[in-house]
Structure 1
Amino acid sequence: MSLCPLCNGMASVETKCSTCHNQMNDQGRLLDYFDDYSAYLDIDGMKLFDGIENDAREQKCPHVFYCTNCDKENTILIQEI
């Protein structure tokens, strides 16, 4: 079983907005935004239908990053360890 260094507070990622070049904020796992109970479901099982190809097989955790300056959202795949 692998784990996400961002979800577990072991690392941080700094990424700039491609539109305005401001710092984007990590808003957590994409899977947690699916419905009210998705945060409580099995992570590996959720990856099978999240719409991101190969994230389960390649052990990557999709995180939502948000720019407060221009309201742009990006999903970035974080390599699990």
Structure 2
Amino acid sequence: MGMCPICNGFRNVTLPCASCSGSMENSGREADFYDDYSPYMPIDQMKLEDGYPADYAEEECPHLFKCPSCGASQVFLIKE
């Protein structure tokens, strides 16, 4: 099992917004937004249920990024 460099604070990532070219900011793991208890579920279990078929096998962590300028959001898979 890999370790996500963003979740573990090893790296910060800002990505360009496809809508306005601003800087998107990390809002956390996408699975944390599913319901009130999802942040407390085991990460590997959530990966099996999150709708991204390759994230578990490829050791990727889906993160939600949001643009503070225009409000656009997008999920990026971060390599663990």
**Smaller-chain TM-score bracket:** over 0.9
Q: What does residue 65 of structure 2 align with?
A: 65
TM-score by length of 2: 0.95
Q: What does residue 19 of structure 2 align with?
A: 19
Q: Return the structure number with greater strand share.
A: 2
TM-score by length of 1: 0.94
Q: What does residue 50 of structure 1 align with?
A: 50
Structure 1 residue ranges without an equivalent (≥5): none
The CA RMSD over aligned residues, in Å, is 0.7
* Number of corresponding residues: 80
Q: Does 1:32 align with 2:32?
A: yes
Structure 2 residue ranges without an equivalent (≥5): none
Over the matched positions of the two proteins, sequence identity in percent amounts to 45
Question: How far 1:49 sits from its partner (Å)?
Answer: 1.1
For the residue of structure 1 that corresponds to 2:64, the secondary structure is strand
AA matched with 1:36: D
Large movers: runs of 4+ above 4 Å: none
Question: How far 1:3 sits from its partner (Å)?
Answer: 1.0
CA distance in 2, matches of 1:66, 1:36: 20
